[in-house]
Amino acid sequence: MSSVLNINNLTLSFKTLMQRVDVLHGIDLRIEAGEKVALVGESGSGKSVTARIILGLLQETRSAVVHGSVLFDGKDINTLTRKERAALRGTAMSMIFQDPSSSLNPVFTIGHQFTEVLKRREAKISQADCKKRCLKALIEVAIPEPARVLSSYPFQLSGGMNQRVMIAMALANQPSLLLADEPGTALDVSVQAQTLKLMHKMVTNHNTAVLFISHNLGVVREFADRVYVIYRGNIVEDGPTAALFANPTHPYTRALMAAVPRITGTGLPQVPEFSDEFLAPRVSHGVNP
């Protein structure tokens, strides 16, 4: 397999009026073609900013200082021009955000927004072909009455329906890489499970590589092939999902797993608090990236 994404020694800092704040500290991460990889950690650990660097968004923020290499299909995102990075988004790579209601524009119909997505890859696509592809994509994500959905506005659909629309849009241009940032967080548990199962099926059918960002280890265990655990901007443990869950070695990984809710009648789990043990060296199960 060839690497769709290969990140080496990625660092991120933000410049403020008073000081420079270091956020990421030498991130190394890889994703092979068709592979589902999870990036796991608590809020503020550096998951979402890593995704935004992959998309080439933070490189365009004046206060952000990005170093290291982010190789996507052999091209370093950090060395591309703003126009070249923009051309990749929505075509070669796509992103699904955690709240579909805020990701879709409420003043345009689903059909109008879907058309704009398809035109990013094929600017001269005909209206007839566009509608045909939109309907087919919605059927693929098990949306009933796709024609009605295309003519609807986002606020006329449920959260679960909007998330299915987002999955269809994200995969419509057959990207090499899909970034999924907590895609089920804004949904109730049953709809979240349906959505993740659907996403798993879709990316498998399209052979799309996935970076799945989450703090939910239960979901990650079911979805991902490999896992990277991030803490305070450092990758502290990584490896195949089965190996990591069978033998979590780093203290922070064990603390995260201890915080997973269990139906035991013993009350709420303890949220992991900072410990000097969490700064232990990185642990890798298998070959390092």
Indicate whether 289 belongs to any domain.
no
Q: What is the distance between the alpha carbons of residues 151 and 157, in angstroms, rounded to a whole number?
A: 11
Lowest-confidence range among 17-31, 168-182, 183-197, 205-219? 183-197
Please tell me the predicted confidence (pLDDT) of residue 195: 74
Q: Residue 181: which H helix or E strand, with range? A: strand 177-181
pLDDT band at 32 (very low <50, low <70, confident <90, very high): very high
Query: What is the value of pTM for the model shown?
Result: 0.87
Q: Residue 179: which H helix or E strand, with range? A: strand 177-181
**In this structure, what is the dihedral angle of CA atoms 75, 181, 16, 65, given to the nearest 10 degrees?**
-10
Please tell me the predicted confidence (pLDDT) of residue 102: 78
Please tell me the predicted confidence (pLDDT) of residue 257: 86
Task: Determine the residue type at 159.
Answer: G
Indicate whether 162 belongs to any domain.
yes
Which residues are CB-contacts of 203 (< 8 A; sequence separation ≥ 6)? Answer: 36, 171, 178, 210
pLDDT of 288 above 50: no
Indicate whether 159 belongs to any domain.
yes
Most distant CA pair in the chain, distance: 61
Range list of H helices, 155-216: 159-172, 189-206
Please tell me the predicted confidence (pLDDT) of residue 205: 87
Q: What is the distance between the alpha carbons of residues 245 and 138, in angstroms, rounded to a whole number?
A: 35
**In this structure, what is the dihedral angle of CA atoms 233, 234, 236, 237, given to the nearest 10 degrees?**
80
Indicate whether 146 belongs to any domain.
yes
Indicate whether 81 belongs to any domain.
yes
Which residue range forms the structural domain that includes residue 247? 3-284
Please tell me the predicted confidence (pLDDT) of residue 203: 86
Pick from 25, 10, 20, 31: nearest CA to 210:
31
Please tell me the predicted confidence (pLDDT) of residue 287: 52
Q: What is the DSSP letter of 151?
A: T
Indicate whether 66 belongs to any domain.
yes
Tally the domains of the chain: 1
Find residue 214's DSSP bridge partners.
40
Q: What is the DSSP letter of 123?
A: T
Q: What is the distance between the alpha carbons of residues 223 and 236, in angstroms, rounded to a whole number?
A: 20
Pick from 237, 271, 239: nearest CA to 251:
237
Please tell me the predicted confidence (pLDDT) of residue 289: 45
Q: What is the distance between the alpha carbons of residues 206 and 103, in angstroms, rounded to a whole number?
A: 23
Indicate whether 89 belongs to any domain.
yes
Average pLDDT, the chain: 88
Q: Which two tokens stand for residue 281?
A: 């060296």
Model pLDDT for residues 81-129, shown as the tens digit of each residue:
999 999 999 999 999 887 777 789 999 999 999 999 999 999 899 999 9
Model pLDDT for residues 141-199, shown as the tens digit of each residue:
889 899 999 999 999 998 888 988 998 999 999 999 999 988 766 556 666 677 778 88
Q: Taking the CB of residue 21, how many other CB atoms lie within 10 A of it?
A: 12
Between residues 251 and 287, the one the model is more confident about = 251
pLDDT band at 273 (very low <50, low <70, confident <90, very high): low
Model pLDDT for residues 232-262, shown as the tens digit of each residue:
999 999 999 999 999 999 999 998 888 776 6
Please tell me the predicted confidence (pLDDT) of residue 98: 76
CATH code: domain of residue 206: 3.40.50.300
Residues 69, 11 contacting (CB under 8 angstroms): no
Indicate whether 35 belongs to any domain.
yes
